[in-house]
Amino acid sequence: MTNPKAIMGLGVLATFGAFMGILADVFSAWAPSTSEMETAFSVSLESIRGLYENKPRWTYVLGNYLGVFFIPLHIAGFFLVYQALKPASAKWAMIFLVLGLYVTPIGVGLHGTLAFVGDIIQSRDAGLIEGIRDYWEPWAYSLVFLYAIVSVLILMLILTGRTLYPRWTALVSPIVVVVVTGIVIAILPDSATGLKTFLSVTGLNAPLMIFFAITTGVLLRYHRASLSL
């Protein structure tokens, strides 16, 4: 049975969590200085190092707490997306949900390392900086790899035309937004460094905020939507 209040509540929670994730990204990693971070998927140590070299410590410490305490709310959003995908394929929708629930703590954990990474980069200790590469980069690349898989799965199911999503929502699905943002970053002039960096560092949470909000609207529109596994 449809429960509009529950859908709205979960949707607001998820969208708010993603919005706070954007704030966490800004406090944790944004800087107006030159960055090698070309897209949201640019997560090598070299790509983020320049963001931390002169960044006030209190900002990335605050960003650490915002990410750790609010990004877990993405789980509510993934549950709603699952409901909207389910009419196309219960099996693939469940696979999406499992992957979404799996990738969320990986992202939360990685975000929780950024304060330590910032401290190490600001120490300018070459040995320590090189040492964190061995554990941090594989962790970061696993996150963006899983994010891409989950996002492509959403896109593929929407394109079948059998989900609750109208086909046009494929244009604002997370993977499409990430790709479009990468193109925008590439064509922006060098003088727009602050904007380019903002689009890069918020490039995983911003697409989710947009999509969670759209998903909430879609579920509220269709009376046959439910909140069940």
Domain extent, residue 39, equals 4-221
| Number of Cβ within a 10 Å radius of residue 223 | 10
**Number of domains comprising the chain:** 1
181 within some domain:
yes
What is the model's pTM? 0.93
111 within some domain:
yes
210 within some domain:
yes
Q: Are 209 and 16 spatial neighbours (Cβ–Cβ below 8 Å)? A: no
| Dihedral Cα 97, 145, 135, 30, nearest 10 deg | -100
229 within some domain:
no
226 within some domain:
no
69 within some domain:
yes
CA pair distance 105, 75, nearest whole angstrom = 9
| Number of Cβ within a 10 Å radius of residue 56 | 11
Q: Are 28 and 60 spatial neighbours (Cβ–Cβ below 8 Å)? A: yes
| Number of Cβ within a 10 Å radius of residue 49 | 15
Tens of each residue's pLDDT in the chain, 229 residues: 568 899 999 999 999 999 999 999 999 999 886 666 777 778 888 888 888 988 999 999 999 999 999 999 999 999 999 999 999 999 999 999 999 999 999 999 999 999 999 999 999 999 999 999 888 999 999 999 999 999 999 999 999 999 999 999 999 999 999 999 999 999 999 888 889 999 999 999 999 999 999 999 999 987 556 677 7
CA pair distance 71, 13, nearest whole angstrom = 11
Condensed to tens digits (0 to 9), the pLDDT of residues 139-189 reads: 999 999 999 999 999 999 999 999 999 999 999 999 999 999 999 999 999
CA pair distance 189, 63, nearest whole angstrom = 28
**HEC string for the chain:** CCCHHHHHHHHHHHHHHHHHHHHHHHHHHCCCCCCCCCCCCCCCHHHHHHHHCCCCHHHHHHHHHHHHHHHHHHHHHHHHHHHHHCCCCHHHHHHHHHHHHHHHHHHHHHHCCHHHHHHHHHHCCHHHHHHHHHHHHHHHHHHHHHHHHHHHHHHHHHHCCCCCCCHHHHHHCHHHHHHHHHHHHHHCCHHHHHHHHHHHHCCCHHHHHHHHHHHHHHHHHCCCCCCCC
Single-letter amino acid code for the residue at 112: G
163 within some domain:
yes
227 within some domain:
no
